[in-house]
Amino acid sequence: MRCVITGGAGFLGSHLSDLILQQDHEVLVLDALITGSRANIAHLLSHPGFTFRECDVRHPLQVDGPVDIVFNLASPASPPVYSRRRVECLLINSLGVHHAARLALDTGARLVQASTSEVYGDPLHHPQVETDWGNVNPVGERSCYDEGKRYGEALLTALRLEEGLNSGIVRIFNTYGPRMHPYDGRVISGFIRQALTGEPLTVFGDGSQTRSFCYVSDLVRGLWLMGTSDHPGPVNLGNPQEHTILQMAHYIRALTGSESPIVHEPLPADDPARRRPQISRAKEVLGWEPVVGLEEGLQHVIDWQRRTLGATKQPA
């Protein structure tokens, strides 16, 4: 098979490329290198099945030759990043989704859309089930991302109904692993960086808000299974083990042997109080569930940051 991955030079996309190439399929990555980097795919550039093209999904996508699956991952993904690029975020999640879907329609490919648990907003039900419609503030701090992703889901639904697009929507919950940018504001990579450099670990609010963290190898296996299924979704992909943010800070301090203090800062606006996926649909339709435990996954990130942190720059 030949797969196109938009956003493939980012955290999830580079791991998905690894997985697909390991199975002897071909990968074409289309990425504008906004939050992703050549470093994430440097080990793949000489692979005969791998091609990289720098391009922006806000413009129509032209790909010669057959395409079997388009994985649409291009989007800013962390609050500090999309808060600096709000209009861009909305355009990527509208025009960009449209262009990825057009590529899939033109080539007869399946399209997998990386949606997010953020479509549930500050959830009214716990754990979050795909039948929840969400509780999102359309004029809030996070609306460029949350509503952008919700629009993407609506657009794909319309194209599915009107033009027969073979689309599959996955709602990804917090995922972590090596190559997640240590400075992009996401909690696990941020805590580990702070612990390793002796900086204080920044906990927003009192840290009683919860998240559920999925290791990247589990997550990209779920993306691949969605690519090879014909289920329209939405399907939650995430690890149902729930932790408070304060527990995570203490755990990462202990695993790294760090003496960094924990400091508290005000909770950002519209920060969801709880996040935990109900994954029975993923089990049923994809035969998927996560298998990597938290300690093992965190240790991989700690080892990776220990090796690479010295050479990592803060994103613009």
Ligand X SMILES: NC(=O)c1ccc[n+]([C@@H]2O[C@H](COP(=O)([O-])OP(=O)(O)OC[C@H]3O[C@@H](n4cnc5c(N)ncnc54)[C@H](O)[C@@H]3O)[C@@H](O)[C@H]2O)c1
**Which residues belong to the active site?**
145
- What φ, ψ does residue 169 adopt, rounded to 5°? -100, 130
Site for ligand X in 95-124 (CB under 6 A): 96, 114, 116
* Choice from 17, 75, 143, 239 touching ligand X (CB under 6 A): 75
Backbone angles phi, psi at 193, to 5 degrees: -60, -45
264 interacts with ligand X by CB under 6 A: no
> C-beta of 71: minimal distance to ligand X in Å?
9
Please report whether residue 73 would count as binding ligand X according to CB under 6 A.
Answer: yes
d(CA 191, CA 203): 9
Rounded to the nearest angstrom, the gap between the alpha carbon of residue 158 and the centroid of all alpha carbons in its chain is 23
By beta-carbon proximity to ligand X, the closer residue of 12 and 196 is 12
Tell the smallest beta-carbon distance from residue 140 to ligand X (Å).
17
Helix (H) or strand (E) holding 78: none
Taking a C-beta distance cutoff of 8 angstroms, is the pair 79, 185 a contact? Answer: yes
Q: At closest approach, how far in Å is the CB of 5 from ligand X? A: 9
Please tell me the distance from the alpha carbon of residue 130 to that of residue 115, in angstroms, as a whole number: 12
Q: Which of 56, 130, 146, 218 binds ligand X (CB under 6 A)?
A: 56
Q: Which of 28, 92, 109, 279 binds ligand X (CB under 6 A)?
A: 92
Break the chain down into helix, strand, coil percent, rounded to 5: 40, 20, 40
Report, in angstroms and rounded to the nearest whole number, the Rg of the chain calculated over CA atoms: 19
254 class by beta-carbon count within 10 Å (0-12 exposed, 13-18 middle, 19+ buried)? exposed
Of these, 57, 63, 248, 282, which contacts ligand X (CB under 6 A)? 57
Alpha carbon distance 295, 303 (integer Å): 12
For tokens 């940018």, the residue is 181
Residue 223 makes contact with ligand X by CB under 6 A: no
Shortest CB 122 distance to ligand X, Å: 16
| Tokens at 99, concatenated | 């262009």
Name which position in 4, 20, 28, 34 contacts ligand X (CB under 6 A).
34
Window of 17-25, 30-38, 153-161, 242-250 that interacts with ligand X by CB under 6 A: 30-38
* Among 202, 181, 180, residue whose Cα is nearest residue 191: 202
Contact range with ligand X by CB under 6 A, out of 8-16, 61-69, 289-297, 302-310: 8-16
- Write out the H or E segment, with its range, that includes residue 153: helix 143-163
* Residue 155 binds ligand X, judged by CB under 6 A: no
Q: Does 234 bind ligand X (CB under 6 A)?
A: no
When asked if residue 12 is in the footprint of ligand X (CB under 6 A), the reply is: yes
From candidates 2, 5, 17, 31, binder to ligand X by CB under 6 A? 31
3-state secondary structure of 32: coil
Pick from 7, 168, 233, 290 the residue near ligand X by CB under 6 A. 7
Which residue lies nearer to ligand X by CB, 6 or 260? 6
Please tell me the count of residues contacting ligand X according to CB under 6 A. 28
Give buried/exposed letters for 7-44 (b at 16+ CB in 10 A, else e).
Answer: bbbbbbbbbbbbbbbeeebbbbbbbbebbbbeebbeeb
Rule CB under 6 A: choose which of 3, 5, 11, 217 binds ligand X. Answer: 11
Residues that bind ligand X (CB under 6 A): 6-7, 9-13, 31-36, 56-58, 73-77, 92, 96, 114, 116, 172, 174-175
